[in-house]
């Protein structure tokens, strides 16, 4: 098992920005890229200030292949996750894990000791 987990984030808005800030606190996590269609979003600005590569095209992150252990999709767009799944299947990438927003909400709820599940900003995103 790797000593450092390489993570990419798709969507750096209301869910992605707090997640990015939390991930940056841990030495065993390296954020290798962030994608958001809004380059001026606070999360993208934070990533740039933190010298994390940014892109408007989430496929730039997918194309990093095995250089990404986890790609966290908090974009709120089901087409993004569907595209990632198809791309990884086509390229036979069985290494990179696609992490669903529900898992992010669970992790953030626990790390922030909320006592309840963190709010979703994408209630229509469900399942795989």
How far apart CA 47 and CA 53 sit, in angstroms, is 7
pTM of the model: 0.87
**pLDDT single digits (tens) 17-71:** 989 999 999 999 999 999 999 999 999 999 999 999 999 999 999 999 999 999 9
Question: Kind and range of the H or E element at 5?
Answer: strand 5-10
The pair of structure tokens assigned to 29 is 């996590």
Domain 5-111 fold: Rossmann fold (3.40.50)
Sequence spans of domains, the chain: 5-111
Give me the pLDDT at residue 124, please: 67
How far apart CA 87 and CA 106 sit, in angstroms, is 26
């Amino acid at each position: 098992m790797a000593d450092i987990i390489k993570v990419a984030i798709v969507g750096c808005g209301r869910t992605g920005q707090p997640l990015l800030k939390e991930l940056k606190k841990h030495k065993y996590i390296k954020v290798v890229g962030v994608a958001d269609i809004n380059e001026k979003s606070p999360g993208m600005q934070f990533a740039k200030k933190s010298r994390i590569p940014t892109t408007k095209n989430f496929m730039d992150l997918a194309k990093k292949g095995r250089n990404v252990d986890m790609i966290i999709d908090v974009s709120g767009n089901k087409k993004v996750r569907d595209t990632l799944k198809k791309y990884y299947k086509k390229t036979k990438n069985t290494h990179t894990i696609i992490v669903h927003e529900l898992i992010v909400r669970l992790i953030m709820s626990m790390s922030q000791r909320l006592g309840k599940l963190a709010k979703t900003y994408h209630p229509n995103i469900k399942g795989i």
